[in-house]
Chain A
Amino acid sequence: MRTLNLRIVRGGPGRPATYQTYQVSVDEHLNILDAVQKVWATQDPTLLFRHACHHASCGLCGVRVNGRERLMCLTPIAEFPEGATVTLEPLRNFPWVGDLVVDVKPLMDRMAAIQAPYVRKDELTAGSEEGTRFEDCIECGLCMSACPVVGSDSAYLGPSPLAMIKRLLEEPRGRDIQSLCALAGDAHGAWRCHSVMECVEVCPSNVAPSQAIGLLRRYLILRGRRQLAGAERR
């Protein structure tokens, strides 16, 4: 068992944020999410937090842990020494619902606009037959929170939507490439990225958005060149 002090943001729109600290003991093999759930279950049922799968698939439990975007289910208790204070704050750049919960609609609207797919070809496992798997992106929003451009431009598509556009260019699955390129190529698309790379730092699921944006830019340039040369319709 390890005892930690969870210092958690409390409050919501219209109620100023305060920090409330809870002391909680959990088994060392577990994660911060378990500690938060224990606080809610045994100390304070008013605490708001998002979670579902507890194994980094649903994308719900993203917060800032000691200032850093993390999934709570992938933040081991064992990372913190006995008695440590762990500060938990909601993600940035999303409307605040209350405590650790934010409204992810801005990200979901962008994903809906590009008709983001959930399933792709499985290139990971052996076998000659066609296999499928879920796309890497779990839409957790950590990248959107960590990205300073998302913070300063409310129309910026953002790391994960742009990475998803790149995935669609690689594997179209019936999407309209022209309109995707228009989205990615506009003033709030791929050219807004400043290569800060925070998205890559925080992504828990192998998406590496900044790298995808680089490839997307190259694609847009090459496509533009072909269109100028008359080799491709605009």
Chain B
Amino acid sequence: MTLHAVIIGAGSTGAAVAHDLTLRGYRVTVVERGEVACETTGRNHGLLHSGARYVLNDPPAARECAEDNALMRKLMPGILELNGGLFVALNEEDLSYKDAFLEACAQAGVPAEEIPVQEALRLEPNLNPRILAAVKVQDGVFDPFHFTLAFLATAKQHGAVVHTYTEVIDLLWNGRSVGGVKVRDRRDGREYAIGADLVVNAAGPWAGRIGAMAHVDIAVLPVAGTMVAVGRRWVRRVINRLCPPCDGGIIVPQRRNSVVGTTSWPVENPDYIAIPPEQVEAMLAAGEEFIPGFRSAPLRGISAAARPLLRESSQLVAADPGARGITRGFSCFNHAGDGAPGLFSIIGGKTTTSRLMAEVMGDVINEATGITTPCRTREVPLLPYHAFYV
């Protein structure tokens, strides 16, 4: 008997879960109140992480990131800029991290190669000539909307149905279990029910709102970040600062543009984030530190979105077998323990490891349903995103 899963949210998380579950034989319906990837996912940096960013503070995350980076290159080659990246030291303090950084990369299986500064400047003539060190890594670049569409297109090919402009207004109950969702089609206001055997809450910053419908307290803290795009491709590769995560530490080129980011500040309402002009200024200044003259290029967009971070004090117990999820900033929950069997949540994480997040969520769901089909997303390539519109 085919089980029907409703997934709430068509960001990269919901899309990857849809893809994973269809390949395990579930019938999948995705409901999204806006456009695909219209919020958190849409405005992420588009960085296919090499994993190097995590080697110092979270080596297991770094290793998994590097593995999934290599996988995604195989699974969606047609929509990635694959020029690699550089970690550069801008000052003595950055330089002091270099040895530990290189050692940690080696330990975590993250490809990293120190190159002479002269070589880095030859590769990237617009880089600040005063950099003190450079390390080559295997970063890639994606456009988040098309990344998400590729997962959904593939899921649709395997039978998934995607309803955009369809907002969940309540959960439905089958006795004591969550048995579906009540939705409003925002195009005409029509409300209707979608029955399901299980519901996956992939609503990102709004996951708490869905949880509340089941009287489950999902404490998501929206933490926003600002990015600024300028209309000139200053560098071929991703440029990272060789330092612990900081504001404005990354420049991602794409097309003819360069996107510098990011910042980090908690916000009240993830629906609208007022971007402080000081942050825009700070990002342009950060760009200038990497690339003298960065801000002489015309502005080509100012964006901010809320990361959905799970509050540390959350009472929920992650259902993730082997606790793989928790250390890389995402958690998967089976809310049977919270009085809402049939409801699952996946909170946090990064678009760059969506496939892996979905694999973990799929395993958690299988444990609950007794379905034994393993994850197949490592083997099944993603369709071109145009296939979404078929």
Residues of A within 8 A of B (CB): 12, 14-15, 26-27, 29-31, 34, 37-38, 40-42, 46, 48, 50-60, 73-74, 97-98, 101, 104-105, 108-109, 111-112, 115-119, 122, 124-127, 131-136, 138, 205-206
Contact = CB atoms under 8 A, between A and B. Distances in A.
B285 interface: no
Contact of A112 (B81, B274, B389): B389
Contacts of A53: 42-43, 143-145, 301, 303
B300 interface: yes
Interface of B: 34-38, 41-43, 46, 78-83, 123-125, 143-146, 165, 186-189, 227, 229, 233, 235-236, 253-257, 259, 269, 271-272, 274-275, 277, 280, 300-304, 384-390
Contact of A119 (B34, B36, B78, B303): B78
Contacts of B301: 31, 53-57, 73-74
8 contacts: A26-B274, A42-B271, A46-B186, A51-B38, A56-B257, A111-B386, A112-B389, A134-B143
A109 B389 contact: yes
Contacts of A205: 255-256
Contacts of B236: 122, 125-127, 131
Contacts of A116: 386
A29 B226 CA distance: 13
B256 A206 contact: yes
A55 B42 CA distance: 10
Contact of A27 (B81, B144, B274, B303): B274
Contact of A42 (B165, B272, B302): B272
A134 B83 CA distance: 12
Nearest to B77: A119
Nearest to A104: B389
Contacts of B304: 54
B302 A54 contact: yes
Nearest to B276: A27
Contacts, number: 166
A34 B302 CA distance: 9
Q: Main SS of chain B's interface residues?
A: loop
Contact of B81 (A14, A46, A119, A127): A119
B277 A29 contact: yes
For A14, A135, A138, which residue has the most chain B Cβ atoms within 10 angstroms? A138
A52 B123 contact: no
Nearest to A109: B389
Given A12-B188, A48-B186, A132-B82, A58 B271 contact: no
Nearest to A173: B78
Contacts of B254: 57, 133-134
A116 B259 CA distance: 25
Nearest to A51: B38
Contact of B229 (A46, A55, A119): A55
Contacts of A42: 271-272
Contacts of B124: 126-127
Given A97-B165, A136-B255, A56 B81 contact: no
B152 to A, nearest CB: 13
A118 B389 contact: no
Contact of A58 (B80, B144, B187): B144
Nearest to B140: A132
Contacts of B188: 12, 14-15, 98
A122 B146 CA distance: 19
A48 B165 contact: yes
A157 B330 CA distance: 44
Given A41-B271, A126-B236, A58 B389 contact: no
B186 A41 contact: no
Nearest to A99: B187
A58 B257 CA distance: 13
Given A54-B302, A133-B255, A41 B144 contact: no
B80 A119 contact: yes
A98 B189 CA distance: 11
B78 A117 contact: yes
A29 B386 contact: no
A104 B145 CA distance: 14
A125 B144 contact: no
Contact of A29 (B34, B280, B388, B389): B280
Nearest to B232: A124
B38 A40 contact: no
Contacts of A12: 187-188
Given A37-B272, A38-B272, A51 B389 contact: no
A12 to B, nearest CB: 6
Nearest to A39: B272
Given A29-B277, A56-B300, A101-B165, 16 more contacts: A26-B274, A27-B274, A29-B280, A38-B272, A41-B272, A46-B189, A50-B35, A53-B42, A56-B229, A57-B254, A58-B144, A74-B300, A98-B186, A108-B388, A112-B390, A133-B253
A112 B35 CA distance: 20
Given A40-B271, A134-B255, A52 B38 contact: yes
B275 A60 contact: no
Contacts of B35: 50-52, 60, 101
B165 A41 contact: no
A57 B259 CA distance: 11
**In the complex, which of the residues A14, A40, A52 has the most CB atoms of chain B within 10 Å of its own CB atom?**
A52
Contacts of A59: 145
